[in-house]
Structure 1
Amino acid sequence: MSYQEHPKEDEHASARSAEEILSRLTLQPGHWALFLDIDGTLIDLADTPDGITVPPDLPENLHLLSLKLGGALALVTGRALAYADRLFAPYEFPLAGLHGSERRSSSGAVSRIETGEAFEELKAALAEEARAWPGVLIEDKGSAVAAHYRQAPEQRKAVEAAMPRYLDMAGPDFTLQRGKMVAEIRPARAGKGHALKAFLDEPPFKGRKPIAIGDDVTDEAMFRAANELGGRSIRIAETEAATEAKFTLPSAHALRTLIAALADTGKSVSA
């Protein structure tokens, strides 16, 4: 099957094309590098950040697939590096956390964007104001801070009105990142697209074409980077949404099924 120029015209054809793209990971393991978001992509979303469940076979399947790719598999997430590692223990993959504010290369070297005392004061002020927003969860990520309103969608206007004000307090070195029922202030120098490109400058990713998979507006920069570099972009989308991803899969479960099949070459690659 050839790649479709306009895959959104046929959702089923787009999914089949995404399956074909992923099947090439083991057919041409030295040609591709795989970049994966976590929440909503590898694992199902939950009402709270700590409410997610990692399927027991997922860490092992990712490890086996990484081995087949010569280690050219990285996680690119809004989660902090340490938290993401706990999700996939005992394995530690190359990982960009906090949308690229911190990054661990395949060599194990970790780099971080440091914030400072003023940002700590900002986070405390935001947490204090959020006491007036019942159901809103303020997540302190270290060099980033997020306001989640999935449990209180009626608080969206309050959150969306306040976060630009806190961004002004943070200054020009920070940016406001919006996602699925969350608004986050993070360092402006970070970004999933920048993280993907940084990995591709290093072995074992260097010289390969990227396949980027995500589910949210926070992953659009990663999709753009993959497209610009001649790679492939896949969005996990239960419903149609505007995206720069060229292909889609219907759910995180569908992706996990494909990863399990790719980890075990004796299985058929079918979602």
Structure 2
Amino acid sequence: MSAAPRSLLSGELARLAPPRTSAYFLDVDGTLLEIRPRPEDVAADAFLRTLLQDVAGRAGAALALVSGRKIDDLDRIFEPLVLPAAGLHGAEIRFVDGSRIFAHSGVMDAARPKLRAFAELHPGLRLEDKGATLALHFRQRPELADEVLTMLESVADSPGLAVQPGKMVAELKQSDHTKATAVEALLASAPFAGRTPVFIGDDLTDESGFVFVNARGGISIRVGAARTMTAAQFRVGEPAELRAELEALKG
């Protein structure tokens, strides 16, 4: 993370990253949609679903969701719209032709009971078991943030595991998978290949994606407060502002 990004001017995304030449990679929670206390309560409305479908159409289908959620959960949120997607920070990927890379949940077998017991000992913590990743949400107990990170770091002492902090959550994941590896894999496939990558996110989990697209000469945008230090080049204040920028891509 380097500096506070410049605010994106109204309509500037359409000038910087026109659909004809761009490949769009979009985080979901906190980016396209507001974060909710319970992840299962998040759902896209008809306007957003139609908007994403229209932008994808103008971009030759080069629009994908890149999230820490499972792909099946992304499908629930955007139903009936089905888009190319990377889930679990790149541990699973669905390409535009429907082919998939699947995550393996067995890597979390040793950690799962330890984190479940830890959550049960601390009322207000919530363990979200995504199979190939395990997330401890502490939104209701923010004073436990350090304890949560310490616990996860002790469990992540196994080869191939890493801790990914986020907004009121920390996650145990496979170290080989990041938002950057997800974008890289999708960008190497049709119809994304040969286009300028545009990655938009809102959290620490998205920083690797920002760094990757910057190195590829792309556009990186973080959704959130102006004071945030980030590798992203640009910022918008909230998901509603991002949706307005996406709307402008329709011309």
For Structure 1 versus Structure 2, the TM-score category normalised by the shorter chain is over 0.9
The reply on whether 1:21 has 2:21 as its aligned counterpart is no
Partner residue, 1:176:
163
Give, in whole Å, the separation in 2 of the partners of 1:22 and 1:219: 22
Q: How far does residue 261 in structure 1 lie from its aligned partner after superposition?
A: 3.5
> Contact 1:48 / 1:150 at 8 angstroms: preserved in 2?
no
SS at match of 1:60: helix
Partner residue, 2:173:
186
Partner residue, 1:111:
101
**Which of residues 145, 148, 155 is equivalent to 2:144?**
155
% identical equivalent positions = 36
Structure with more helix by fraction: 1
Deviation track 1:178-235 (CA, whole Å, cap 9, x = no partner) reads 1111110111111110111111111100101101100001000000011000001000
The reply on whether 1:76 has 2:104 as its aligned counterpart is no
> Contact 2:200 / 2:223 at 8 angstroms: preserved in 1?
yes
Q: How far does residue 123 in structure 1 lie from its aligned partner after superposition?
A: 1.1
- TM-score if structure 1 supplies the norm length? 0.87
Give, in whole Å, the separation in 2 of the partners of 1:241 and 1:172: 32
Task: Give the counterpart letter for 2:13 in structure 1.
Answer: I
> Contact 1:133 / 1:158 at 8 angstroms: preserved in 2?
no
Which of structures 1 and 2 has the larger relative contact order (alpha carbons within 8 angstroms, sep 6+)?
Answer: 2
Q: How far does residue 132 in structure 1 lie from its aligned partner after superposition?
A: 1.3
> Contact 1:15 / 1:250 at 8 angstroms: preserved in 2?
no
Give, in whole Å, the separation in 2 of the partners of 1:126 and 1:35: 31
The number of residues matched between the two structures is 250
TM alignment of 1:193-212, pairs within 5 A:
193-212=180-199
Structure 1 spans left out of the alignment, 5+ residues: 1-5, 266-271
Change (3 A) 1:72 1:164: same
The reply on whether 1:34 has 2:27 as its aligned counterpart is no
Q: How far does residue 134 in structure 1 lie from its aligned partner after superposition?
A: 1.3
> Contact 2:12 / 2:245 at 8 angstroms: preserved in 1?
no
Q: How far does residue 7 in structure 1 lie from its aligned partner after superposition?
A: 9.1
CA RMSD of aligned residues (A): 1.9
Task: Give the counterpart letter for 2:163 in structure 1.
Answer: L
> Contact 1:237 / 1:251 at 8 angstroms: preserved in 2?
yes
Task: Give the counterpart letter for 2:97 in structure 1.
Answer: S
- TM-score if structure 2 supplies the norm length? 0.93
> Contact 2:3 / 2:231 at 8 angstroms: preserved in 1?
no
TM alignment of 1:1-271, pairs within 5 A:
8=4, 14-16=7-9, 19-25=11-17, 28-116=18-106, 119-168=108-157, 171-263=158-250, 265=251
